[in-house]
Chains A and B, each alone.
Chain A
Amino acid sequence: MESNAEITRENYKSYVFEKMPKSSHWKNMIWAFLIGGTICAIGQAFIYLYSLWFNAQDASVLASATLVFLAALLTGFGVYDSIGRFAGAGSTIPITGFSNAVVSPALEFRAEGYVYGVGAKMFLVAGPVIVNGVTISVVVALITLLFGLGG
């Protein structure tokens, strides 16, 4: 890239790719594995805890709900985003990452009010997730009804 004038919309992306640190790929992957695994192991601990009072299905749901709540709190304290800086997908893909994606914009856009700020921005990432998830679930269930397949 010799001069700024040559940066166009097309080559900007490859320019950024070029400038990004490459050496951290392995480190990224190890952190993602460790943090992701740890969050799931904590979830397993909650499943065992709730199994004392609830059946297996409910214990699993409550364990995930607990993780969602804890991640919301950690997002409020700004801790979750600090973890995310090095954990990458390890903090994004667990259900806690979903929680973070709900809470983080809700907090950030509070200044725009509780309707168009908190209420709307909350679904910035959760919206696409719920829309896709619900649509697929209905389609799969209807296909199952038609052909008698599926879990």
Chain B
Amino acid sequence: MMDIFLMFVKAFVVGGAICLVGQIIINYTHLTNGKILVLFLIAGAVLEGFGLYGKLVEFAGAGASVPISGFGYALVHGAVQAAKQDGVYGAFTGGLAACATGVSIAIVSGYLVAVLFRPRTKKK
């Protein structure tokens, strides 16, 4: 029980800290949302290239896997694992395969929302 509580604290603190770093970067550079997302994605991917981000995921769980850097981690992790198994073929299939669930759900729910909801007028 204590373990579970501690895991929530770690997820909250690490996830919050990653977002805090992003906010500091936004405050000083005024980067747009898209660029911030790509920046953190690349950061997670490169860190996993050195085998580091996986350790953070082990430590903080969702605190590391939920931020977009965790998406970069999952892509690289999946590609590297598949490459070890299937060689060059795996290097090309592994990344997208690992992220297929998230991307597909984003696309399908995006489509559904676009069909079912009315674009709301900005600020009620």
A103 to B96, CA, bound (A): 20
Contact B19 A90 (CB under 8 A): yes
Contact of A38 with B12 at beta-carbon distance under 8 Å, contacts A44-B61, A76-B116, A93-B22 already known: yes
Contact B19 A103 (CB under 8 A): no
A96 to B26, CA, bound (A): 18
Contact B38 A102 (CB under 8 A): no
> Which range holds the interface residue count of chain B?
35 or more
Smallest CB-CB separation from B11: which chain A residue? A44
Contact A33 B110 (CB under 8 A): no
Contact B71 A95 (CB under 8 A): yes
Q: Which residues of A contact B4 (CB under 8 A)?
A: 48
A106 to B120, CA, bound (A): 13
Query: What's the minimum C-beta distance from B17 to chain A, rounded to whole angstroms?
Result: 7
Q: Which residues of B contact A108 (CB under 8 A)?
A: 119
Contact of A72 with B106 at beta-carbon distance under 8 Å, contacts A36-B16, A125-B37 already known: yes
Contact B12 A40 (CB under 8 A): yes
| A-B contact number at CB 8 A | 294
Contact of A36 with B103 at beta-carbon distance under 8 Å, contacts A44-B62, A137-B79 already known: no
A contacts with B: majority SS: helix
* Chain B interface residues (CB < 8 Å from chain A): 4, 7-8, 11-20, 22-27, 30, 33-34, 36-38, 40-42, 45-46, 48-54, 57, 60-63, 65-72, 74-80, 82-84, 87-88, 90-92, 94-96, 98-99, 101-103, 105-107, 109-117, 119-120
25 pairs, CB–CB < 8 Å, chain A vs chain B: A25-B27, A33-B16, A37-B16, A42-B62, A43-B66, A61-B101, A69-B109, A72-B113, A73-B113, A75-B113, A92-B19, A92-B22, A92-B33, A93-B40, A95-B71, A98-B68, A99-B110, A107-B117, A126-B103, A129-B68, A138-B95, A140-B79, A142-B83, A151-B51, A151-B52
